[in-house]
Amino acid sequence: MFSRGTGDTNPSLSRSSFIAMQENNHHRLRLDQASLLGVVGEQRITFSPKEWLLIDYLVAREGIAVSHESLLRALFRNSAGTKNALAVYVLRVNRKLIEANCSQKIESVRSFGYRWT
């Protein structure tokens, strides 16, 4: 049994799995709505306004495939956005996440859209 320091113990959570869970969380993206920054561990990621809209939209729907059309409406509202422009934003965001050693990414769902994983 491993105590998490709160007085609670979880008999199904071994020390090694708890440490692995902490390490995995260390590489997960946290969004700071107030400053419009992403944080992975101690590293801050600056996103452009469109990148922020994209990542915020997908993170709110984690694990769910979101269509190109839904993302285009969310990002470009009344202006004419294209699938190619969307793909460029996805590429930029994923590059920033890789540089920050993030364990999560935007994944392409062939012929449909994207998913936050």
Match domain 15-116 to its CATH number in 1.10.10.10, 3.40.50.2300, 3.40.50.880, 1.20.120.1690: 1.10.10.10
User: Average model confidence (pLDDT) for the chain?
Assistant: 82
Supply the pLDDT for residue 27.
84
Q: Is the pLDDT of residue 83 over 60?
A: yes
C-beta separation of 38 from 111 below 8 A = no
Q: Is the pLDDT of residue 49 over 80?
A: yes
Q: Is the pLDDT of residue 20 over 50?
A: no
Segments making up each domain of the chain, as ranges: 15-116
Q: Can you give the pTM of this predicted structure? A: 0.76
Instruction: State the alpha helices, DSSP H only, in the chain.
Output: 15-26, 49-59, 68-76, 83-99
Confidence tier at 100 by pLDDT (50, 70, 90)? very high
Q: Which residue bears the tokens 């709160």?
A: 6
Angstrom CA distances, 5 to 8, 10, 14, stand at 7, 11, 14
Supply the pLDDT for residue 8.
44
